[in-house]
Amino acid sequence: MPENALTKARAPIEPVSTLATAIAGRYTISKTFTFAAAHHLPGLPDGHKCGRNHGHTWRVRVAINAEELTGPGWVTDFGDLAPLARFIEQHLDHQDLNAVLPVSPTSENLAAFVAAWCQQHLEPTVHGRLESVTVSEGDDLSVEFRPRAVRG
């Protein structure tokens, strides 16, 4: 019988259980934290608006990846990111970032600062590896920092 739309529609469908294990890859999850904080950037030419004290509603997106899932089938429990939420609430929210960061509080430096904190305090306690930290100080601007992979 020649193949046509009707015979194609009747072709057996591959079981989902086969498809689910047929491809290897990497999963990435992310969570975004929002906080308000002030900053100014020293060393800019006179009159540059970023040199004056001002504030932003900052968004920090942390991405964690894994090739193998854990637990019921996830990269990590989103609840395991609670320590980062506490760190942001206690040390960044409604703070002057110039007094918190040891370097000029640009979005770039804030992303690297949060990534360093995550590598030290979060990564050892969660399944998966820190992939990136993205910082936004506005709707149309963002900086992504990707830590170099550490070869053990």
* CB distance 125 to 83 below 8 Å: yes
Give the three-state DSSP class for 85. Answer: helix
Sheet holding 95-96, edge to edge: 95-96, 27-39, 54-66, 129-138, 141-145
* CB distance 94 to 100 below 8 Å: no
48 catalytic residue (yes or no):
no
Write b or e for each residue in 95-107: b if 16 or more Cβ atoms lie within 10 A of its Cβ, otherwise e: bebbeebeebbbb
Tell me how far apart the alpha carbons of residues 11 and 79 are, in angstroms, rounded to a whole number.
43
14 catalytic residue (yes or no):
no
In the numeric block, the tokens 């509080």 are attached to: 105
**Which of 39, 40, 131, 137 is an active site residue?**
137
94 catalytic residue (yes or no):
yes
* CB distance 71 to 27 below 8 Å: no
**Which of 48, 50, 67, 89 is an active site residue?**
50
**Which of 48, 54, 94, 121 is an active site residue?**
94
Query: Which are the catalytic amino acids?
Result: 50, 94, 137
